[in-house]
Amino acid sequence: MYIGLSSLRTRTHFVFPTLFPKPKSSIFSLLTSSTSSSMSYHKELAAAKKAASLAARLCQKVQKSLLQSDVQSKLDKSPVTVADYGSQAVVSFVLEQELSGDPFSMVAEEDSGDLRNDGAQDTLERIRVLVNDTIASENAYSVSPLSAEAVLAAIDNGRSEGGPVGQHWVLDPIDGTKGFVRGDQYAIALALLDQGRVVLGVLACPNLPLAPLGVQNSASQTGCLFSAVIGEGTFMESLDGSSPVKVNVNPTGNPEEASFFESYEAAHSSHDLSSSIANKLGVKAPPVRIDSQAKYGALSRGDGAIYLRFPHAGYREKIWDHAAGSIVVTEAGGIVSDAAGNPLDFSKGKYLDLYKGIVASNQKLMPSLLKAIQDSIDEKAASL
């Protein structure tokens, strides 16, 4: 159902049109050099899948009993639930247990600052209980229940700045928090950087159906786990542990057949610009709007052929919002770049240095897609 053409896995060189601003390097060249020097990350992959699956279990439990009192507020006013903190603590704990003895560095979205404030004791206690219950449910770790301070320390393991040297885990404990609060799509997104390159990615998507979007029914099983290691392809399995199935991006070269994904929230991406691009390409299908990096997972298995994200001026993309999803798509035969065709650079710390936005598609559509993007950007600028 999800298996595409094997030719999509071939990494070929392509020179993008010169109308785009200063491409740093060919994204095809980057992919070629990455796969040629790949090494085994099987131990890290097993740990990442276990960590993300357990964190998903915690998040599912919280989502079922979500109350307004669960929602915290950070300085940027985005909602943060007890599941965010609990998920990060679980992932941190599992990775340290499974990879004990290895140097551990993690770049993650949350820190314990708000939980150390006066008045947060009840919230912290709920997180502590959730974390310990989740760890105990695995029956694999003979450790005493974590104290509140140990949970705070686990959360704060995510304070690394990342960078181009060494290995760094990259985590978004709940990507798509607004979707989580609404009861819609969200993902636990975990990736591994090695010398600044994304070499491994796992997406746990508890509410994403295993059947392709648009064809599932009320009886469709939900809960997908996507995983990718550089040079080894992308696989999907159920969160309950079914056998992994190799997936590939949609192979279409016809824009009229190419449905596209974009952010559910208009505040997260310019829907008007995406609509203009779709019109220039000749895309007939309406956009599929869902939260989180679940879009990357759905794209990797061919549910759609294009993903567009154009944040509003002044917004800086964080690496945890795209690291896992980008390798899941590229290892499925796709391409992920900025709006000028530049490969995403995860080696510069917590933020991505981008031209305009992020684009993902297959190799056949990408050249015409990039041209439509630049034409739409120029047209919008001329109208101001």
- CATH number of domain containing 300: 3.40.190.80
**The domain that contains 118 carries what CATH number?**
3.30.540.10
In this prediction, residues 240-263 reach a mean pLDDT of 92
Give the active site residue among 123, 134, 177, 252: 177
Instruction: For residue 230, tell me if it sits in a domain.
Output: yes
Percent pLDDT > 70 in the chain is: 83
pTM value is 0.87
> Mean of the per-residue pLDDT values for the chain?
86
Domain identity same for 296 and 215: no
Q: pLDDT tens across 308-339, in order? A: 999 888 889 999 999 999 999 999 999 999 99
Domain identity same for 47 and 130: yes
Instruction: For residue 1, tell me if it sits in a domain.
Output: no
Between 6-20, 24-38, 64-78, 89-103, the lowest mean confidence (pLDDT) is in: 6-20
Domain identity same for 57 and 191: yes
263 forms bridges with which residues in the sheet? 290
pLDDT at 76 exceeding the cut of 80: no
Domain identity same for 204 and 239: yes
Domain identity same for 108 and 213: yes
How far, in Å, CA of 188 to CA of 277, rounded? 30
pLDDT at 370 exceeding the cut of 50: yes
CB atoms near residue 253 (< 10 Å)? 13
Domain identity same for 216 and 284: no
Domain identity same for 47 and 174: yes
Q: Which of 246, 269, 295 is the last residue of a domain?
A: 246
Domain identity same for 147 and 219: yes
Q: Which of 246, 280, 311 is the last residue of a domain?
A: 246
pLDDT at 212 exceeding the cut of 70: yes
Q: pLDDT tens across 148-180, in order? A: 999 999 999 999 999 999 999 999 999 998 889
> Is 353 labeled as catalytic in the residue annotation?
no
Residues making up the binding site: 109, 172, 174-175, 321
Domain identity same for 210 and 274: no
> Is 70 labeled as catalytic in the residue annotation?
no
Between these two residues, 266 and 233, which has the higher pLDDT value?
Answer: 233
pLDDT at 242 exceeding the cut of 90: no
224 forms bridges with which residues in the sheet? 205, 238
Strand 234-238 and strand 222-229: the pairing is: antiparallel
In this prediction, residues 178-187 reach a mean pLDDT of 90
Between 30-39, 122-131, 190-199, 294-303, the lowest mean confidence (pLDDT) is in: 30-39
pLDDT for residue 313: 81
Domain identity same for 145 and 240: yes
Strand 187-194 and strand 358-361: the pairing is: unpaired
pLDDT band at 81 (very low <50, low <70, confident <90, very high): confident
Between these two residues, 367 and 71, which has the higher pLDDT value?
Answer: 367
Which of 13-22, 144-153, 206-215, 270-279: highest mean pLDDT?
Answer: 144-153
Instruction: For residue 158, tell me if it sits in a domain.
Output: yes
Instruction: For residue 6, tell me if it sits in a domain.
Output: no
Give the active site residue among 84, 156, 303, 338: 84
* Residue whose pair of structure tokens reads 């990442």 in the numeric block: 48
On whether the CB atoms of residues 187 and 294 are closer than 8 A, the answer is: yes
How far, in Å, CA of 341 to CA of 261, rounded? 18
Domain identity same for 206 and 307: no
Q: Give the domain extent around 180.
A: 22-246
| Structural domains in the chain (count) | 2
pLDDT for residue 270: 64
How far, in Å, CA of 367 to CA of 267, rounded? 27
Domain identity same for 233 and 267: no
Q: pLDDT tens across 23-55, in order? A: 444 443 444 344 334 478 999 999 999 999 999
Residues making up the binding site for Mg(2+): 109, 172, 174-175, 321
pLDDT at 381 exceeding the cut of 90: no
